[in-house]
Amino acid sequence: MRERTLLIIKPDGYSRNLADPIFKRFTDNGFTIIERRDMTISPELAAQHYAEHKEKPFYPSLIEYITSGPVAVAIAEGENGVARARELMGATDPAKANPGTIRGDFGESIDRNTIHGSDSLESAKREIRLYFADQAE
């Protein structure tokens, strides 16, 4: 079944001009980029996006980082989109990500791991609504 997921090329990837090459990896693997926006995430939007992490010790640095510079946000659609996107991204910690995955190839650290992708179909729907209200299913 085709599913939509949200992808964010984080500030470390965006500043290294990796958005287009990373999105190409998705399209080369059967995904369609439905819509893309380049933007700087506001602290308010970041707080909504990462609300489930609010009580965790890394929350302030997460908000500070994701709002620190421009990002590229996209809706990607593909067969088993959420799970396949997570496979293409690789482990959250680039040191544990396989070579050939996005984080394995481009991630700098667990805090600067280049890309965000929705972790479930429910998260994908919620996150797409946050960034692309007109595209929400």
Cα angle: 130, vertex 131, 137; to 5 degrees:
70
Is 116 among the catalytic positions? yes
Model confidence pLDDT, tens digit, residues 38-50: 999 999 999 999 9
CATH number assigned to the domain comprising residue 56: 3.30.70.141
Contact (Cβ atoms closer than 8 angstroms) between residue 80 and residue 68: no
**What average pLDDT score do residues 106-121 get?**
96
Beta partners for residue 71, in sequence order = 39
Residue of 101, 116, 117, 132 marked catalytic? 116
Predicted confidence at residue 136, as pLDDT, reads 53
Which contiguous run of DSSP H or E holds residue 95?
Answer: none
Q: What is the mean pLDDT of residues 59-85?
A: 97
Domain that holds residue 107: 2-135
Q: Are 25 and 102 in contact (CB under 8 A)?
A: yes
**Ramachandran sector of residue 66 (left: φ over 0; alpha: ψ -120 to 50; beta: rest):** alpha
**The whole model's pTM is what?**
0.95
Q: What's the number of domains the chain is made of?
A: 1
Question: Where does the pLDDT of residue 137 fall: very low under 50, low under 70, confident under 90, or very high at 90 and above?
Answer: low
